[in-house]
Amino acid sequence: MDENNQHHISAVAWLHKSHKSAKIKCCISLEDTTTLTVPATQVNPWFVTEGPPLEVKLYSCKIYQSITSIRSVSLSLSNFTCSSDDIDYVKPIKLKTKKNSNIAVCGKFVYGSKDGNFLIEWFEFLRFMGVYKVVIYPYKLNMYATKVLRYYESLGMVDTVSGFDMPEKDLFPREVGEKCTQVFNDELIILKDCMIRLWNYKYIAVIDTDEFMIPYNAGVNGSWINFFDEYFKSSIASIAFKTSYHITSWKPVNESHPLAIGRHTDGTYPIIDRKKNVFMPSRVIIESVTTHALAPHNGYKKLFCPSSIASIHHFRECRSEWLTRTKSSKPMPKLCGNSKSSCFEFCKQRSNVLDNVAFAIEKNVKAVKNHLRDIKNHD
């Protein structure tokens, strides 16, 4: 709910495809235990990803009077009585309306066996680039990586949104990380939530925890803000980047380097594949933002950044579809061998800019690891 005169509640929810045309209402539970109901308006429904049985919707519920005693909020079909069970309600978050001149990152999910040490490298990279806030959603995350998140929360850099789970997994079995339409759509629930939380920032980057957007001036502390201020001209809403893949099964360039990004400095030639965006929220339609796409407001345009200026460095294993792609398939890294049977045939190029970044953050990464190790020893 915004401060000042902008009284409305934004709510993101799953809706059964069978109810796609149904009218929805907001159920607002007040501190005095009464429940207020107001109509819920779907925001820009043309941006809904259709297809899966559970679709993600964004609703806005206007409050016609100043209400300061809201305890929790839920959504319901208009012809149903509001639930009386607290488990069906969530506590609203009051957002600041004052514009922020800083950079924020939506890191989306971090889950399972994610390497906590690599997570430290990612956070220290973002700190070095000048990122002010990261919103991230843990899901069944291992203990060490969870401890890493808590550390960066204590610094005020990270907002961790816990408790995510997908509804009706008994009817539609699925897990985070699976490659299916419903899971891709489920991811939009946290992405839209993330956008609402960060909308007052000057710039937002949507990247995963194994991706490093590195500009040409990466050796400079706080270089993201300098880079964005230079390239976001008066008519630019967003910048998209090519991706260079650093295949973690390749032989490390420098096996003795203490950082993973310093060991795997060889990458593929940058390609246009699953592009990621940095954008100015004030110039973009919030409901349009997905992991790889967005729609600018009228009068603004999207820019594709040449890889000589900046690119995404993505650290990951070889993708299975790369092993079977044909000439008619989507883009894949350039091949230097005669066989397409493994990622070892991809042409490699050394990334000097990664060497610079690894050198810049190595001391801080080591300090964080030692700090977390000391905490463990005192437990």
Q: What is the pLDDT of residue 3?
A: 43
Residue-wise pLDDT for 298-357, tens only, equals 999 999 999 989 999 999 988 776 666 554 456 667 777 655 556 767 888 888 889 999
Q: Which residues pair with 57 in a beta bridge?
A: 13
* Entry pTM: 0.90
Would you say 136 and 149 are in contact if contact means Cβ atoms under 8 Å apart?
yes
Residue-wise pLDDT for 32-65, tens only, equals 888 999 999 988 766 666 778 998 989 999 886 6
**DSSP E strands, the chain:** 8-16, 24-30, 35-42, 54-62, 70-77, 100-112, 131-141, 158-160, 201-206, 211-215, 236-247, 266-267, 271-279, 301-305, 310-316, 349-350
Pairwise CA distance, residues 30 & 136, whole Å: 29
Q: What is the mean pLDDT of the chain?
A: 87
Quickly state the pLDDT bin for 180 (edges 50, 70, 90).
confident
CATH dotted code for 100-319+330-368: 3.90.550
Token digits of residue 251: 């032989």
All structural domains of the chain with their residue ranges: 8-88, 100-319+330-368
Residue-wise pLDDT for 215-234, tens only, equals 876 666 778 988 999 899 88
Would you say 144 and 119 are in contact if contact means Cβ atoms under 8 Å apart?
no
**DSSP E strands, 234-362:** 236-247, 266-267, 271-279, 301-305, 310-316, 349-350
